[in-house]
Structure 1
Amino acid sequence: MSAIAVLGNGRVGGNLAAALTRAGHEVTVADRAPGAAADAARTARIVINATPGAGSLERLAALREELRNTILIDVSNATLDGPDGLPADLVYPGSSLAERLQEALPDTRVVKTLNTMLFPVMTAPGMLAQAPDVFLSGDDPQAKQAVRALLADLGWREEWITDLGGIQTARATEAAILFVPYVIRANGFTPFAISIAR
C-alpha cells in the first residue's frame, strides 16, 4: 500500500483515485482549494498530476518543497484547445510537459504514463477488444518500477507496459495527443488507446 496524492479531481483524477483506493492504497484527492495541493503532496510518497496540462507546470513548480523526494506521475497533456474544446496544438512543441516538470522539480522523480488513451482505459485496460499499450518515460529506474506496480494494480499486464527510456521520450507520447481529436470526431468518445501492433 502506498500513500498517494492525486492533484486534480476531474474525470481523470477522480477515476484514478477511485481505482487506486479500490486497489488498497491510501489516496488523497486535492481540489482547487487554496493549500489543498500542498497539504496532499506533503504527506504522499507518490503524487499523480491530473491537473489540466496547460497550467500544470506553474501549479506544480509552486510545490517544489512539498514534492521533494517524491515520485510524480504525470498523466496530463499540455495542449492548446481548438474552438470545439479538443486539443489542437502542443503547449511545448519540441519538448514536453514532463520534461519541463523534471527541470522545474530537480529533487522529484517524474514519470510520464497513461497519457495516450481516453481516461476510462487508464483504470480498465481490459475493456478494449485488443491489447492496449501504456508507455513509461522517466530518468529514475526505481521510480519507474514503482509506477509499474501501480499500473498492475490498475489492471495493466506486464506485456502491455513499454519503457521508452528517459524523460525526453515523453515528447513522443505527448505529441500523440494530436491524434485524439480526429479519432473522437470520427468515432465519438468510444474508449481507445494508442497502441503498437506487434
Structure 2
Amino acid sequence: MTTIAVLGAGTVARTLATGLRGGGHEVVVGSRDPRRAAERWAGSGVRLTGLAEAAESAALVVNALPGPVSVEVLGGLAAQLSGKVLVDVANATESDAHGFASGLTYPGGSLAEEIQRALPDVRVVKTLNTLHESVMVAPGRLAAPPTAFLSGNDTEAKRIVGGLLGELGWPADWIIDLGGVASARAPEAFILMVGGIVRVLGPVPFGLSVAR
C-alpha cells in the first residue's frame, strides 16, 4: 500500500480519492481550508489535512485544485513537492455566465507547462482532464472506450502514472502517451468544447476518445 496525496477538496478530488482508496492506497487529502471541508469529508475514510502536510506525506501527489489558482498554490508548496511525481488533472479556464469554459487561462501554452516551469524539480504528468470525473475512476461505464492522455517530460513518471491508471480500470490500449509536457496543450483545449456538448447532451458523463 502506498500513500497518495490529493490536493483539493472538491468533487474531482473526492472522486479520485475514493477510487484510489478503493485500489488499496492510503489517501491523504489536502485542503486550503480543512476546517470548512471537514463536514463534507466526514466518513470518507481518507485523512483530511492542510495542503503542505498532505504534499509532504506522499511521493505521488494529485493536483485537483481549481486550475486558475493551481500555479500560485503549488508554487507555495515547492519544498514539499520537490522530486515528486505530480499528476495534474486540472483545467485552467475563464468561465462564461453559465460556468462553462470560455477561454484558456494560458492561451498558447498549458497549465501543465506553467506548473512545470514554476516547479522545475517536480515531475509533472498531465492526464484525465478530458473526462467527466466519474469516468476518471470508472472508464468502462461509457458505451465506447474513452482515452486517457499522458503528457510529461519524465518517462519514468509517466510509467508510474500509467500504472496507477491501470489500477483505476484503464486498459493499456486506452492510454496514449502524447510526449513531453508541452503536448498537454491539445487535451487542455478540449475543455472549450465541453459547454457545447453539455448543452446538446445534457449533464451526462462523457470523455474524449480516439477512435481506431
TM-score (norm 1): 0.98
Superposed displacement of residue 32, structure 1:
1.8
- What does the per-residue CA deviation read over 1:39-95, in whole Å, with 9 as the maximum and x for residues that have no partner? 100121100000110111100011011000110000000000100011111000000
Q: Is structure 2 residue 112 aligned with structure 1 residue 78?
A: no
Letter of the structure 2 residue corresponding to residue 127 of structure 1: R
**Partners in 1 of 2:68 and 2:29 — Cα distance?**
20
Structure 1 CA distance for aligned equivalents of residues 206 and 189 of structure 2:
16
Query: Do residues 95 (structure 1) and 109 (structure 2) align?
Result: yes
Shift of 1:2: 2.2
Q: Are positions 1:13 and 2:13 aligned together?
A: yes
Q: Secondary structure at the match of 1:66?
A: helix
Task: Quote the residue 1:131 is aligned against.
Answer: 145
Q: Quick check: 1:195 aligned with 2:201?
A: no
CA-CA distance at 1:114 after TM superposition: 0.2
- Which residue among 146, 149, 157 is the counterpart of 2:160? 146
Determine the structure 2 residue equivalent to 1:182. 196
Structure 1 window deviating more from structure 2 (187-196 vs 91-100): it is 187-196
- 2:63 equivalent to 1:49: yes
Partner of 1:171: 185
Deviations 1:107-144 (A, max 9, x none): 00000000001111001100000111100000001000
Letter in structure 2 aligned against 1:77: N
Partner of 1:59: 73
Letter in 1 for 2:205: P
Deviations 1:160-190 (A, max 9, x none): 0000000000011101111111101111111
Q: Matched residues in 2 for 1:79 and 1:65: separation? A: 27
The RMSD of aligned alpha carbons is 1.0
Shift of 1:9: 1.3
Aligned residues: 198
AA aligned opposite 1:47: V
SS at match of 2:140: helix
**Structure 1 consecutive aligned stretches of length 4 or more whose deviation exceeds 3 Å:** none
Q: Does 1:119 align with 2:133?
A: yes
1:32 alignment counterpart:
32
The equivalent residue for 2:38 is: none
Runs of 5+ consecutive residues of structure 1 not aligned to the other structure = none
Letter of the 1:25 partner, please give it: H
Specify the SS of the correspondent of 2:16.
Answer: helix
Q: Kindly provide the amino acid, as one letter, of the partner of residue 24 in structure 1.
A: G
CA–CA distance in structure 1, aligned partners of residues 53 and 169 of structure 2: 29
Q: Which amino acid aligns with 1:100?
A: E
Q: Which amino acid letter does the alignment assign opposite residue 142 of structure 2?
A: L
Q: TM-score with structure 2 length normalisation?
A: 0.92
Shift of 1:33: 2.4
Identity %: 52
